[in-house]
Amino acid sequence: MIKRLGYERDIDGIQYLLQLMKLEGISCNEDLFVIVINAYRRAGLAEQALKTFYRIGEFGCKPSVKIYNHVLDALLSENKFQMINGIYNNMKRDGIELNVYTYNMLLKALCKNNRVDAARKLLAEMSYKGCIPDAVSYTTVVSSMCRLGKVEEARELSMRIKSFVPVYNALINGFCREHKMEEVFELFNEMAVEGIDPDVITYSTVINTLSETGNVELALAVLAKMFLRGCSPNFHTFTSLMKGYFIGGRLCEALDLWNRMIQEGSEPNTVAYNTLIHGLCSYGKMVEAVSVSQKMERNGVFPNETTYSTLIDGFAKAGDLVGASEIWNKMITNGCLPNVVVYTCMVDVLCRNSMLNHAHHLIENMTNGNCPPNTITFNTFIKGLCCSGKTEWAMKVLNQMRQYGCAPNVTTYNELLDGLFNSKRTREALQIVGEMEEMEIKSNLVTYNTILSGFCHAGMFKGALQIAGKLLVGGTKPDSITYNTVIYAYCKQGEVKTAIQLVDRLSNKGEGYPDVFTYTSLLWGVCNWIGVDEAVVHLDKMINEGICPNRATWNALVRGLFSKLGHLGPIHIVDNILANGKRMGISMESGLVSCIVYYLNLVATVGQPLALTLLEKAKRTSACFFLSSGTCQITHQELFGTCSAIAWLLT
């Protein structure tokens, strides 16, 4: 009767029968109490199970290791760690000899609470007391050590024991997390020497890591090895490969793999469908992604929060409020309550559509719906406010998020800094920088780049260079944005030679790769501080490196060329560029002609004859101009006929 009540989770009925048995003097054996304790565990009443355990003496039953183990299991299921420690002490006091099952639960409890050092001591105690640890014992400790980043120590521990497949899997997973693939393949070799066959978990873990890092070809090689060893891949294996194809920009191959899996009779689960939907959303293929979600339901696999949040996020990035709202409504209709990720995606799409008040109301509703916003939610809203120029409101939200118990992080401050600098509120931005230092929030590369850019736009070039120095001293590795901003600042300060040295270092030593923005800033600086002849040398170098000048590049060069048009000596440089354009990779469509004509036209008396000559040369080379409205043939009569034609060139 008690067993049946236990399966039905009728706790009141169990307690009634126990009390009745006590009153009638009916003794109870350990098996009965095991049933009762398990019933409490299934009902989530671990403390009640413990209270019942302490009363077993009243029913004529002595505690045994079996009953102790089931009590420990109940407490462990709810992570009642302090109570577990008390039970362990009681067992030692009562002289109960612990078995391997007891030790494994104690090890699990310690590891679950990140006490791996204590777990290792307990592992040693097992052996000392003659209880030989099994695969579960070692796997529990090794897995926990790897999870906490102590992979090398876990490896040392495994070398002192007889390793099992689960132990190797834990180690391989740990090294994969740290992307130490050389060590991973060493473990594969060791398994082969020991005669231990990797299982589907081993192979899938490695394939997943290789795919996530974009190394799909090696992942395919591991898959081939897997087939050769007679190990059949599962859907997780193929899903990992598909994810790798998506990351590598190989959409067609990802879809082909999916179709092959379906044709072979594989039945995708929720994770597999979510991977496909996420991949399609990342390519902006929202119609196809929605279609997959519909097919998913027809096949009896129901979307979860991840499915809906992925779709809403995809629509948010596309700025499609209607699409996001439809998915939101469908989610609610299907009885799937939105989590904080889904809410945050909706806040994002509302902000992208300038519906800031609606986004604010949604955040307020999150608390009422028992789903409080987190830091990411507030960061998303702050970004939306800053992009709309609502920096005052964004500063208020910074204080509001603290009231919700959400601590601002570096992303929060980065968004605020970007908004304040763009709004030309440099003083407030500097206050935010000071607040970050007070709060001991470490700046990252985005922070430094934002401050660098903000200082440059505010004309604070010396300060920008000081920030760049602070970045390097702090050990943060600069990227192309950092270098471009620093080169721009050097040129503005007149330190062009330093800028040239930095560009040369980027090109020659592989510390970075100069791009069109790098050279545009450099050419502007060289034209203004050294001369056009020197600028053309760097232009030639730029083109030889395979970097194509854009309209801004030509604009900087031509502006420098004709800044003092009274001295017409530099015109031979233009002739040289046009005459050798093919060799230098310059086409007349590049925008060079448009820029030159515009500047010549600014000094009509002197410049128009030169402009006409240039246009005739352009005409002979069948030149055309790329304008905002498309590619158009323009004659010199049309160009100089009206002022509107000049304005057309500048659009």
Region 395-402: mean pLDDT is: 92
When mean pLDDT is compared over 12-21, 347-356, 543-552, the highest value belongs to: 347-356
Region 46-72: mean pLDDT is: 73
**Residue 522: pLDDT over 70:** yes
| pTM, to two decimals | 0.69
Are the C-beta atoms of residues 231 and 200 closer than 8 Å to each other? Answer: yes
The residues, any chain, with a CB within 8 Å of residue 552's CB and separated by 6 or more, are: 516, 520
Query: How do beta strands 630-632 and 625-627 pair?
Result: antiparallel
Region 14-20: mean pLDDT is: 56
**Residue 640: pLDDT over 80:** no
Region 262-291: mean pLDDT is: 92
User: CA 326, 331, 335, 338 torsion: positive or negative?
Assistant: negative
The residues, any chain, with a CB within 8 Å of residue 633's CB and separated by 6 or more, are: 624
Are the C-beta atoms of residues 615 and 608 closer than 8 Å to each other? Answer: no
**Residue 445: pLDDT over 80:** yes
Alpha-carbon gap, residue 246 to 229, rounded angstroms: 27
- Quote the pLDDT of residue 645: 30
**146-174 burial, b if ≥16 CB within 10 A, otherwise e?**
bbeebbebbbebbeebebbbbbbbbbbbb
**Helix 592-602 with 571-579: angle, nearest 10 deg:** 160
**Residue 434: pLDDT over 50:** yes
- Quote the pLDDT of residue 627: 30
- Quote the pLDDT of residue 641: 31
- The pLDDT tens digits of the residues spanning 464-495 come to 888 888 887 778 888 888 888 888 888 888 89
**Residue 592: pLDDT over 60:** no
- The pLDDT tens digits of the residues spanning 102-143 come to 888 888 888 888 888 988 998 888 888 888 888 888 899 999
- Quote the pLDDT of residue 651: 32
Are the C-beta atoms of residues 521 and 491 closer than 8 Å to each other? Answer: yes
Q: DSSP character for 512?
A: -
Q: Give the lowest-confidence range in 201-210, 407-416, 609-618.
A: 609-618
CA 341 to chain centre: 14
DSSP three-state, residue 63: coil
DSSP string for residues in 400-459: HHHHTT----HHHHHHHHHHHHHTT-HHHHHHHHHHHHHTT----HHHHHHHHHHHHHTT
Region 91-97: mean pLDDT is: 80
- Quote the pLDDT of residue 9: 55
When mean pLDDT is compared over 288-292, 519-523, 553-557, 600-604, the highest value belongs to: 288-292
- The pLDDT tens digits of the residues spanning 216-260 come to 999 999 999 999 989 988 888 999 999 999 999 999 999 999 998
Question: Residues of the chain with pLDDT > 90: what percent?
Answer: 36
**Inter-CA distances, 361 with 245, 352, 355, 357, Å:** 39, 15, 10, 6
Q: Which residue has the higher pLDDT, 403 or 608?
A: 403
Region 443-448: mean pLDDT is: 90
Alpha-carbon gap, residue 336 to 320, rounded angstroms: 22
Alpha-carbon gap, residue 416 to 422, rounded angstroms: 10
- Quote the pLDDT of residue 634: 34
Q: Which residue has the higher pLDDT, 51 or 190?
A: 190
- Quote the pLDDT of residue 307: 95
- The pLDDT tens digits of the residues spanning 599-630 come to 555 444 445 555 555 555 544 544 333 332 23
Q: How many CB atoms lie within 10 A of CB 547?
A: 20
Q: Which residue has the higher pLDDT, 646 or 140?
A: 140
Task: Name the band, by pLDDT with cuts 50, 70 and 90, for residue 589.
Answer: very low
**Residue 298: pLDDT over 80:** yes
Mean pLDDT (the chain, rounded): 80
DSSP string for residues in 450-507: HHHHHHHHTT-HHHHHHHHHHHHHTTPPP-HHHHHHHHHHHHHHT-HHHHHHHHHHHH
**Residue 286: pLDDT over 90:** yes
Region 344-353: mean pLDDT is: 93
- Quote the pLDDT of residue 106: 87
3-state DSSP helix/strand/coil percent for the chain, to nearest 5?
75, 0, 25
- Quote the pLDDT of residue 547: 85
Q: Where are the domains of the chain?
A: 517-651
- The pLDDT tens digits of the residues spanning 174-200 come to 999 999 999 999 999 999 888 999 999
**Residue 433: pLDDT over 60:** yes
